[in-house]
């Protein structure tokens, strides 16, 4: 594996870890805060002396808290849960915006006067859901960007390897041709010419003199 691929892989893992930590922290805070509010009001929900769930404010609070719990579970490498929480976050975010604009003045006044914490958390839920959708899009774009760069680097490495292989093959062919030409030349050389070459060799003459002495 080449250095650019290792670098982009490291950047991808680091960025995904940062995004996951941010998402997990925000939804952990939402889950804990929402769980506390639900625990304090669920017994008196829709009772004469308790909180009245006008415009489904408490229902949306419970669904958002449940969505945060599922989102945190999805970080344990459960891909199906992550896909589901992305879809649920998007649907809840759209519904929350529509429902928030449709809440009557009486219901809005009821919560702001008697249950400010519930109303404030409901507004925070809208922000958290929008943040979840935004972060999922950022993670997807980051993955696509780094994946594209990885593919480009892979293509470059393949092309470089192919060029190196072609050069090696050309060098091998040239060396084989050279060996073949030399072999044919030696085989085609006349025997008389070889003998003459041997006779003209000074070492042979020196040996002959030495033997005669």
Rounded to 10 deg, the angle between the 3-41 and 57-74 helix axes is 150
Task: Tell me the pTM.
Answer: 0.65
**CB atoms closer than 10 angstroms to residue 118:** 20
| Structural domain includes residue 23 | yes
| Structural domain includes residue 127 | yes
Most confident of 24-38, 50-64, 196-210: 24-38
Give pLDDT tens digits for 102-125: 999 999 999 999 899 999 999 999
| Structural domain includes residue 66 | yes
Q: Provide the number of structural domains found in the chain.
A: 1
| Structural domain includes residue 111 | yes
Give pLDDT tens digits for 118-163: 999 999 999 999 999 999 998 888 778 776 766 666 666 666 666 6
| Structural domain includes residue 129 | yes
Most confident of 54-58, 64-68, 172-176: 64-68
Instruction: Give the residue numbers spanning the domain of 90.
Output: 3-160
pLDDT the model gives residue 102: 92
| Structural domain includes residue 181 | no
């Amino acid at each position: 594996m080449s250095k650019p691929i290792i670098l982009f892989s490291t950047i991808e893992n680091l960025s995904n870890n940062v995004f996951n930590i941010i998402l997990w922290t925000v939804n952990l805070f939402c889950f804990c805060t929402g769980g506390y509010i639900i625990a304090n009001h669920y017994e008196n929900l829709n009772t004469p002396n308790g909180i009245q769930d006008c415009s489904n404010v408490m229902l949306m609070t419970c669904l958002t808290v449940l969505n945060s719990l599922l989102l945190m579970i999805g970080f344990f490498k459960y891909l199906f849960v992550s896909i589901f929480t992305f879809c649920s976050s998007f649907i809840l975010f759209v519904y929350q915006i529509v429902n928030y604009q449709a809440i009557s003045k009486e219901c809005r006044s009821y919560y702001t006067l008697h249950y400010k914490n519930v109303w404030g958390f409901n507004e925070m839920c809208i922000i958290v859901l929008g943040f979840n959708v935004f972060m999922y899009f950022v993670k997807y774009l980051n993955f696509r960007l780094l994946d594209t760069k990885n593919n480009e680097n892979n293509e470059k490495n393949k092309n470089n390897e192919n060029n190196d292989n072609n050069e090696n093959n050309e060098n091998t062919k040239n060396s084989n041709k050279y060996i073949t030409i030399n072999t044919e030349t030696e085989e085609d050389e006349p025997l008389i010419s070889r003998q003459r070459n041997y006779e003209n060799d000074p070492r042979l003459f020196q040996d002959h003199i030495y033997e005669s002495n």
